[in-house]
Amino acid sequence: MSLKTTIESEIKQAMLSKDKDRLRALRAIKSQILLAETEKGSEGELSEDAELKLLTKAAKQRKDSIEVFEQQGRDDLSATEKSELTVIESFLPKQLSEAEVETEVKAIISETGATGPQDMGKVMGVATKKLAGKADGKMISSLAKKLLS
């Protein structure tokens, strides 16, 4: 079942249960899917990779917004973003812990034969593809830097 179909059925469930916060988040996801499908150069239906990228981007936007709102003392807006983030994360694959990501990055470093910071690009290219949606890019980057230096 595609993400769009899943989201549409979840929207119906949220409407029936009168869960306004979940409904708002689901509608935001559906809106992003529709925009991506009608974008110039797209073939209509989104691939699983494109859906994953879309959800990851939405989650990252929410995290950034939460950070800004908390710095400004806007707990009301921060709470809204947190509830939306929870809904978005329910559609993403389980996030790996820092220890699991470190293990993966070590394996990638030995696979690619990376020896130092100059090989960061090689490692990051493989790591971002392999860990897409499972780990935050900042975490992958900082672990790769630490392990390569």
pLDDT per residue, tens digit, the chain (149 aa), is 688 889 999 999 999 999 898 999 999 999 998 888 888 776 777 788 788 888 888 888 999 999 999 999 999 999 999 999 999 988 887 878 888 888 888 888 888 887 878 888 888 888 888 887 778 788 888 888 888 88
Q: Where in the sequence is the domain holding 83, given as residue range(s)?
A: 3-89
How many domains does the chain fold into? 2
State both tokens at 46. Answer: 């989104």
Q: Tell me, yes or no, whether 16 and 82 share the same domain.
A: yes
Q: Tell me, yes or no, whether 114 and 63 share the same domain.
A: no
**Structural domain ending residue among the three candidates 43, 64, 89:** 89
**Structural domain ending residue among the three candidates 42, 58, 89:** 89
Q: Tell me, yes or no, whether 108 and 53 share the same domain.
A: no
**Structural domain ending residue among the three candidates 70, 89, 108:** 89
**pTM here?**
0.72
State both tokens at 61. Answer: 């936007």
